[in-house]
Structure 1
Amino acid sequence: MKLKHSALRIALGALVMGTLSHSAFANEKITLMVGGMEKQIYLPAKLTEQLGYFKEEGLDVELLNEPAGVDAENELIAGAVQGVVGFYDHTIDIQAKGKFLESVVQFSHTPGEVELISSKIADKVKSPADFRGKTLGVTGLGSSTNFLTQYLAVSHGVPISEVTSLPVGAGNTFIAAIKQGKIDGGMTTEPTISRLVKTGDAKVLVDLRSPESTKKWLGGLYPAASLYMQTSWVNTHKATVQKLTNAFVKTLRYISTHSAEELTAKMPADYYAGDREMYVKALAAGKVSFIPDGRMPESGPPTVLKVLSAFDKGLQGRKIDLSKTYTTEFVSAVPAK
């Protein structure tokens, strides 16, 4: 009888220790919302998952897809997700409204976006100065594509009241809007750009993919794709934020040391939109946008503030503390290669 009791105690003890061990080493659950998972500008999100870097850091990361960055921002503020893979400019825009978000890893120093114009009217629209009276597609109202479109208009003498911004998303919905004549053009990213140029339905008017062209149109580097989070959450979950940062910086290093062909091979086939060769070509040209160490370029935030202030009355005359819109604390602590 004693032997039975001893065996039972040992079995129960093993069960308890196993449960404790499992909970002690279980991956930490994090939910991130991506402002358009299939967009090449947000490649680091899915690629980090594909490379297994989240799991290497002990994280169980769920990636949720939300085509419009402004909706992803709203989900973050509501506490539905812990972070957003989206444009840095939202951190400035939201500070003017009394809330605080910050970029913790900066993926790119250019928007990676292009203002396309329907081929049907390309001969009449030679620059943003010809936007007057046009309907231009954006992912969503209050989105970064909307911000950039409005800036291009006002910086070329066209009041935003004389341009119509129409939310059409990206990918297939953007393409359909161009083909059906619902929009005269619009701001979008790869692979949507290449798909429309290849079919001849649209032409590139303003290219914000390379550092050189971004400086030409916006007056400086425009840090865009990033991982941004609520400042209050970052301050109370620093260990977790460091793990996320470690994973993303490893991915950015991977991007900088591998070819577009190698990167494409790691991505889900449906991201190619039916044309793998086109996807590789676009990525080869777009890789220049990514920052290998995830560090915010010092000249970037003032450029973004200047761009937003040109048309956003909520920012005009308001003091924005740019130092609170991003942090380099975590990228600085990432282990060396």
Structure 2
Amino acid sequence: MRPTFRAFRHIALASSLLFGIASQHAMADDSGKITIMVGGITKLIYLPARLTEQLGYFKDEGLDVELLSQPAGVDAENELLAGAVQGVVGFYDHTIDLQTKGKEVKAIVVFGQVPGEVEMVSTKSADAIKSMADVKGKTLGVTGLGSSTSFLTQYLAGQHGIQSTEYTMLPVGADASFIAAIKQNRIDAGMTTEPTVSALEKSGEAKVLVDMRSVEGTKAALGGTYPASSLYVQAAWADAHKAQAAKLAHAFVRTMQFIHTHSAEEIAAKMPDDYQKDKTLYVSALKASLPMYTADGKMPADGPATVLKVLSAFNPSVKGKHVDLSKTYTNEFVSAK
């Protein structure tokens, strides 16, 4: 019996040591670096990510945060699922799409109560395309196939009875690559954000066709608010790192309050110079974007249902599937004191 007892004692001791190491590792994770992938860090829809860093709010919370940039949100999502990053600043709709694929991801801070997206039409095509009812046979630019812009594009066209097979969607990215696609006549129209919108308007190369930078414009286009830019994480990470999640949320909520209590000029002054090569244009674009930001980081009450409606219409992963919207976001961390 003694060898058996001794063996059990060794097993218990080993288990205790392993538990202690695991606990230490978990605590180390809580105080270690957090890497966040941003779906295009210079886009104004994602401005809160860099602004929070510039204001020093991450450091105020005792956090070591690294921001990386990935032009398409769908690619940033893949980095999260692979465990390469702890969070993504991207569109909330990814959390719905991923739930239907058995992945639990939730938004813990909402930056944009509306998409901040604008369907721009090339000036050369403006006479032929007066609204989304005129896109049949045209080539429409999106950031990437399967991206949020592709589903929004399909929804806007679908409202006019135009099927996705009746036009071409071309992935052209954002910023300079989107502008190049317009200039080179590779697309007739396309969906993009600020400051690209203001740059194209200033150069006279494109005009606004559908404006989703404000609540009013978004409700007219989509029938309700459409929470978009947000910080989302894997649910398991949030459950295991509640202290970190709450600190992250608090840092971002401070930024949202800063945005709502300062002018576009004051906000722009906090941003890096390389984000605003044309400062006048940048401030103008920021002024046009201010209505889209939430004041408190919370999910708009009617938002998730609007997003689900859009995705259910054109996302094959979501169409006909049951989605528990309560698991796609939480206000727990932005409400924590």
Query: Do they superpose with TM above 0.5?
Result: yes
Determine which of 115, 140, 144 is the counterpart of 1:140.
Answer: 144
2:323 is the counterpart of 1:320: yes
Quick one: distance in 2 between partners of 1:313 and 1:144? Answer: 13
Quick one: distance in 2 between partners of 1:101 and 1:113? Answer: 23
Aligned to 1:104: 108
Give SS of 1:310's match.
helix
Determine which of 217, 225, 245 is the counterpart of 1:213.
Answer: 217
Deviation (angstroms), 1:27: 5.6
Deviation (angstroms), 1:154: 1.2
Q: Which stretch of structure 1 is more off in the superposition, 83-92 or 304-313?
A: 304-313
Quick one: distance in 1 between partners of 2:231 and 2:175? Answer: 22
2:202 is the counterpart of 1:198: yes
Give SS of 1:315's match.
coil
Aligned to 2:248: 244
Deviation (angstroms), 1:127: 1.1
Give SS of 2:144's match.
coil
Do the aligned partners of 2:31 and 2:63 also contact (CA within 8 Å) in 1? yes
Aligned to 2:295: 292
Determine which of 276, 279, 283 is the counterpart of 1:276.
Answer: 279
Give SS of 2:125's match.
coil
Query: One-letter code of the match for 1:104?
Result: I
Deviation (angstroms), 1:85: 0.4
Deviation (angstroms), 1:285: 2.1
Query: One-letter code of the match for 2:201?
Result: V
Aligned to 1:149: 153
Deviation (angstroms), 1:313: 2.9
Runs (4+) of structure 1 moved beyond 3 Å?
A: none
Percent identity of equivalent pairs: 65
Post-superposition CA distance 1:233-288 (Å, at most 9, x none): 1111111101100110011111111110000000011111x211111111112111
Do the aligned partners of 1:155 and 1:310 also contact (CA within 8 Å) in 2? no
Query: One-letter code of the match for 2:165?
Result: S
Deviation (angstroms), 1:292: 1.1
Give SS of 2:209's match.
strand
Aligned to 1:188: 192
Quick one: distance in 2 between partners of 1:314 and 1:65? Answer: 26
2:245 is the counterpart of 1:266: no
Q: Which stretch of structure 1 is more off in the superposition, 313-322 or 229-238?
A: 313-322
Q: For this pair of structures, how many residues does the alignment match?
A: 310
Quick one: distance in 1 between partners of 2:31 and 2:326? Answer: 32
Aligned to 2:68: 64
Give SS of 2:94's match.
helix
Determine which of 235, 238, 255 is the counterpart of 2:239.
Answer: 235
Quick one: distance in 2 between partners of 1:69 and 1:89? Answer: 10
TM-score by length of structure 1 reads: 0.90
Give SS of 1:279's match.
helix
Quick one: distance in 2 between partners of 1:229 and 1:200? Answer: 39
Aligned to 2:181: 177
2:306 is the counterpart of 1:303: yes
TM-score by length of structure 2 reads: 0.90
Which stretches in structure 2 are left out of the alignment for 5+ residues?
1-26
Determine which of 120, 135, 138 is the counterpart of 1:116.
Answer: 120
Aligned to 1:20: none
Do the aligned partners of 1:27 and 1:55 also contact (CA within 8 Å) in 2? no
Post-superposition CA distance 1:116-171 (Å, at most 9, x none): 01100101101111111111111111111111111111121110112211111111
Quick one: distance in 1 between partners of 2:73 and 2:146? Answer: 8
Quick one: distance in 2 between partners of 1:141 and 1:43? Answer: 23
Deviation (angstroms), 1:232: 1.2
Quick one: distance in 2 between partners of 1:81 and 1:310? Answer: 30
Deviation (angstroms), 1:96: 1.4
Do the aligned partners of 2:198 and 2:284 also contact (CA within 8 Å) in 1? no
Do the aligned partners of 1:68 and 1:143 also contact (CA within 8 Å) in 2? yes
Quick one: distance in 1 between partners of 2:137 and 2:244? Answer: 48
Post-superposition CA distance 1:286-317 (Å, at most 9, x none): 11111111010110000000011111233222
Quick one: distance in 2 between partners of 1:132 and 1:99? Answer: 35
Quick one: distance in 2 between partners of 1:130 and 1:60? Answer: 49
Do the aligned partners of 1:139 and 1:146 also contact (CA within 8 Å) in 2? yes
Quick one: distance in 1 between partners of 2:236 and 2:162? Answer: 39
